[in-house]
Structure 1
Amino acid sequence: MHLTGLLRQSWAGLRVLVLFTVILGVAYPLAVTGVAQVAFGDQAGGSQVTHDGEVVGSSLIGQPFDGEQWFHPRPSAAGDGYDTLASGGSNLGPESAELLATVEERRAAVAEENGVDPADVPPDAVTASGSGLDPHISPAYAEIQVDRVAEARGLDPAEVRELVDDHTQGRVLGFLGGERVNVLELNLALEDLGGS
């Protein structure tokens, strides 16, 4: 009699487990995914950026751009750089000698590359974001890169500066964060603009 009650309770528990697995593990995720695809298709699909009919990245994930002819993103601490599987900061504190040395090294490199005084290099040019995947830079960081990019492409700096202004996004909801420039979108517009 005692064994029968135990088996009955176990069977009831197993049925509840299967029921909730189907509801919460299958039906609910499918419903949420379906609503997201209908209501927010672009975001649900990863906010993909296409250029000439080809997906070239996401507007939400930074990626490296090498060469004088491109605007450069902020440094990444994600794996070997912009590794979405190793997203994260450097975990170095503000008093870390290693962090301070890295920042000074980056400041000198950015200043030399862009022909500016090291004091004019903005913080986002020398520090990684918390995720290591930030796709944005500050308008100040974009501004110090304008002359280098214009010279490398044989373009008028005023034309490149206007492109930066056109791609500067305001604060989120008008008051959160600061102005920002999406590096991927800016570089795609730069490529469309031409130059050598």
Structure 2
Amino acid sequence: MKTHIYPAIKITIILLLLLSVVYPVLVWAIAQIAPNHGKGEMLEYNGQKYYRNIGQAFTRDDYFSSRPSAVGYNAAGSGGSNKGPSNGEYLSEVRARIDTFLVHNPTVKREQVPVDIVTASGSGLDPDISIEAAKIQIDRVAKARGISVNSLQSLVDAHVQTPLWNMFGPRKINVLELNIALDKMAEK
């Protein structure tokens, strides 16, 4: 019995120290090397600070819409809805989002609506949308802002972010950065 208990206690103590002391200190030390010392990526615009990597709510027609959030864009409570595609309540919620999107984007057909513009991400805080989700909103934003469609198309194209080494993840657009650039365009 002693031959099993002592090694088990040793392994428990080693793992406890490794996983609750060494690993957190290592992650903290690596974060200190990051540009903002592990405190997130900040953007400042018009005297306000925003987290670049946390989704923001944009609901006005003169802005590009974000992904819906299962947590109301509250970074303190990150999480998804945990409702699957066979859940009737969830399907009703997505249908309502599609209907709302179509009301605000009358030039779009139901089958053209990208999935990411009507479904929340796993964290509920995704700051990015697909290129298709941005492009499908161009007509609405152009009309609301009185800007040419070609100008907005160029703005969207300029904000496409490619994945790491052009292979790890999808191409995407940060909605906050795009909307700030849209405001700056209007200021000129």
Q: What band does the TM-score fall into relative to the shorter chain? A: 0.7 to 0.9
CA distance in 1: counterparts of 2:96 and 2:180, whole angstroms: 29
- The runs of 5 or more residues in structure 1 that have no matched partner are 1-23
**1:71-86 superposed matches below 5 A:** 71-78=64-71, 81-86=72-77
CA pair 169-104 structure 1, distance change in 2 beyond 3 A:
same
Counterpart of 1:113, as a letter, is H
Equivalent residue pairs, number = 172
Structure 2 match to 1:110: 101
Structure 2 match to 1:172: 164
**1:16-31 superposed matches below 5 A:** none
Alpha-carbon shift at residue 177 of structure 1 (Å): 2.3
Alpha-carbon RMSD? 2.6
> The residue matched to 1:36 in structure 2 has which SS?
helix
Counterpart of 1:50, as a letter, is E
Does 102-111 or 130-139 show the bigger shift? 102-111
Structure 1 match to 2:143: 151
**1:1-196 superposed matches below 5 A:** 33=28, 36-37=31-32, 39-42=33-36, 44-52=38-46, 54-55=48-49, 57-78=50-71, 81-115=72-106, 116-194=108-186
Counterpart of 2:39, as a letter, is G
CA distance in 1: counterparts of 2:130 and 2:76, whole angstroms: 25
Alpha-carbon shift at residue 172 of structure 1 (Å): 3.3
CA distance in 1: counterparts of 2:28 and 2:45, whole angstroms: 26
CA distance in 2: counterparts of 1:117 and 1:28, whole angstroms: 50
CA distance in 2: counterparts of 1:172 and 1:35, whole angstroms: 19
CA distance in 1: counterparts of 2:118 and 2:84, whole angstroms: 15
Alpha-carbon shift at residue 25 of structure 1 (Å): 8.0
Aligned-residue sequence identity (percent) comes to 43
Higher Cα Rg, which structure? 1
TM-score (norm 1): 0.78
CA pair 30-95 structure 1, distance change in 2 beyond 3 A:
closer
> The residue matched to 1:41 in structure 2 has which SS?
coil
Structure 2 match to 1:5: none
Counterpart of 2:68, as a letter, is P
CA distance in 2: counterparts of 1:174 and 1:43, whole angstroms: 26
